[in-house]
Amino acid sequence: MLSCGLPASAFAQTVNQYTNSTTGNIVDSTTCATTVTRTFTVGTNFTVADVNLGVLLSHTYRSDLRITLTSPLGTSVQIMTNVGGAADNLNVLFDDEAAAAISSHSTNDTTGAVPPYLRTFRPTAALTAFDGQSSLGTWTMVICDSVLADVGTFTRADLYLTSAPASYADLSLTKTVSNANPASGGAISYTLSVTNSASSPTAASGVTVLDILPAGVSFVSASGFGSYDSATGVWTVGSIPAGTTRTLTINVTVTAGLGTTIQNDTEISASSVADLDSTPNNASINEDDDAAVSFTTTGTRTAGTPPTLVCPNGTTLLDWNAQSWTSGSSTGTATVANIGAIGFNVTTQGTFTIPLQLNATITGGTTGQNSLYQNVEYTTRTQTTTTVVTLPTAVPGAQFTIFDVDYAPNDFADKMTITGTYNGASVTPTLTNGVTNYVFGNVAIGDVTASDTTNQGTVVATFSSPVDTITIVYGNHTTAPADPDGQAIAINDFTFCNPQTTLSVTKLSNVVSDGVSGSNPKSVPGAVVRYCVLVSNSGSATSSNVVATDSIPANLTFVPGSMLSGTSCAAATTAEDDNNSGGDESDPFGMDFAGNVVTGRAASLGPAASFAMVFNTTVN
C-alpha cells in the first residue's frame, strides 16, 4: 500500500492518497461469505473533510457487484450495489460532487492504468458520512460478487482523504414553502435557514445565499436576519457563529397558472472560511449548502388558445412532408413559394441519440405528419440544442408548432426558449402552452409526461410582427436531474405570412441661399432651394426596381449638376450626373433629369431601407 499527500489550493487543505494494488480474484458468493477485502492504513491523525474512492477491476456483468467502504470508527458506506446492467468492468472515481450517480452508468469501462480514473460518479450512499471523523487507523473496502455466473479480477483502489483546514465552518441550508398546493394568485412564503454546525471551530463571516425567485412567483416582501435583494436574489447574511442558525422569510404572490409545478433552488454563495462537505456557489444539487422546494398550483391545466395569425397578403405553409433532409446532417434547406430557400442550422452540446432527421416518430396527435425530429442525450442539465431558422426575406408574421414538450421524473424536464430578430433587433413571440407544459414569456417548460402520439405536449409559437430569423433553444429546466436521460421533441410545420412591401415618400426642402442673408435666407427670386425626396420601405419584403419621380413646378428652375443620392437625406453624398446612363446609375442608386422631372431609381429596397434623392432649384 502506498500513501502520499497532495496539496489542495482552497483554504490550505491537503488531499492524502492511499493505494492498494494487491490484485485478487473476484468469485461468486451470493451470501458475500467470500469477498475481496482491501485495507488502507492511515498513520496520521487529521479531521476528514472529504473522501473519494477510485476502483479499477475487470468483471463481466458488473451489476453482480456490491462494494462498501468502512472507516476506522466503523462507519460503513455503500459505494455501489448491483448497478450497471450487462456492462463490463469498473474504472471509476467515486465522488459525492460528481454530476451523475453510479446507477446511471451503463456502458463498458476500459481497464487501463490509473489514476486518473476513466469516469467519475456519485456512490450509492454519500461519502459525507465520513466527514468530521478522524483519519487514523485502517480503512476497509469490501467487494462482493453476489450473483452467480460471472467472475472477475480486482486490480487497484485509491482512497483519497482530504484533511480539514485548521479553520472551517460547516454550513448547511434548509428551505421550506408555506403551501405546497396554493391557488394561482394566492400568497405563499419561502423560509430559508442557514446553520453553522456546533462542531465548527470557527464562526463564518461574509455569508451570502443566492435565491433567485423563479418565474411563476412575484416578490412581495422579505423579513428576518440580514437583508434580501429581490433584483439579484442575494440574501446577505453576514456572520454566523458556531451553533447558530440565521433565518429569512420571503413572501411572494403565485403568478403561475393552474396545475403548474414551480421549483425554487437556493445555494450558499459565499463564506469567509472553508466548509468540510460543500463548496459555495458551485451550482451543486446534492450538497448540504443547497436546497430546493416546489409547489403545484391547484386546478387542472388546459391547453391554451394560440393567437390568430393575421396576414393581409395571405400565408405560405412549410410542410415537412413536402421537404427532404439528409439524415444526420446539421443543416438543411426548405424551399417554399413566395419566400424562397429557408435555412435551418442545428447545433447541440449533447449527442443525437438518433440522427437528426425528418420523421413521424412524434405525431403530436396528427397522422403521418413529418417533423424535424431531435432526440438528444445530455450529460448535464445546462446543455442545449439550438435550431436557427434563417429566412431569405423577412415575413410579417409566423406561427409554428413543437410537439412533445414534457417531463419525466428523474429523467428530463424539457425547456424551450424561442426568440426572433428582424433586421438585427429582437422580436419576442407569444407561446401557447399544452396540457403537459407551462409558459412564461418566451419560455415553455415541461412538468407532466405526455404521450408522443397525443397533442398534450404541444407548444405553439406565434410571431405577430416582422421576423427574419427564428432561434429555438432546447434543453432542460432545473427540475431535471443533474445528468438527464435521453429526450426528444419534434419541430412541426411553419405557417408564414406572405412578405409584403410598404413604400412611403417623404419630401423635405430648405432654402440654401438668397444672395442677401447669410444666416436666415428666404425663398425670394434668385434663392437656391434644396429638396430631398426620401423613399422608405417599412414592409417585410424587398421591393425591386423602385422608381420615384418629382416634377419641378414652373416657379422653380432645376440647377444642373446638383443631384446627390444616399440612404437618407443626411447621407446623400454620392454625386449623380443629369442623364440616365453610366456607372453612377447603380452606385447603388441612380438619378436623372429630363424635361422638368427628376427621377430616382433603386434596383432593390429591403425591409426598413430607404433611398434619398437630393437636388437644388432656383426660385424664378
Q: Looking at residue 9, what is its pLDDT?
A: 36
Cell of 274: 472553508
Q: Tell which residue, 544, 501, 541, 495, has the closest CA to residue 392.
A: 541
Query: What are the E-state strand segments in 164-203?
Result: 171-177, 187-196
**Which pLDDT does position 4 carry in this prediction?**
54
Environment class of 100 (CB within 10 Å of its CB; exposed 0-12, middle 13-18, buried 19+): middle
Of 201, 268, 194, 184, which is closest to residue 225 (Cα–Cα)? 194
Residue 570: predicted pLDDT:
96
Number of helices (H), then strands (E), in the chain: 0, 45
Tens of pLDDT, residues 500-537: 899 999 999 999 999 888 888 999 999 999 999 999 99
Contact present, 79 and 53 (Cβ < 8 Å): yes
Nearest Cα neighbor of 427 from 404, 456, 379, 395 is 395
C-alpha cell of 557?
428652375
CB 405 within 8 A of CB 303: no
Q: What is the largest CA-CA distance in the chain?
A: 118
Domains defined for the chain, CATH in brackets: 2-163 (2.60.120.260), 171-296 (2.60.40.740), 315-497 (2.60.120.380), 503-619 (2.60.40.740)
Q: Which residues pair with 574 in a beta bridge?
A: 565
What cell numbers appear for 330 in the block? 446539421
The closest of 29, 4, 34, 32 to 16, measured between CA atoms, is 4
Distances (CA, A) of 317 to 239, 490, 493, 499: 62, 17, 7, 13
Instruction: Please count the CA atoms within 13 angstroms of the CA of 66 that sit on its side-chain side.
Output: 17
Dist CA 592 CA 160 (whole Å): 85
Break the chain down into helix, strand, coil percent, rounded to 5: 5, 50, 45
3-state secondary structure of 474: strand
* pLDDT beneath 50: ranges in the chain: 1-2, 5-10
285 and 477 in contact (C-beta within 8 Å)? no
- Residue 509 near residue 616, CB atoms below 8 Å: no
Is the bond preceding 553 in cis, omega lying within 30 degrees of 0?
Answer: no
> Tens of pLDDT along 551-588?
999 999 999 999 999 999 999 999 999 998 888 787 89
d(CA 262, CA 293): 8
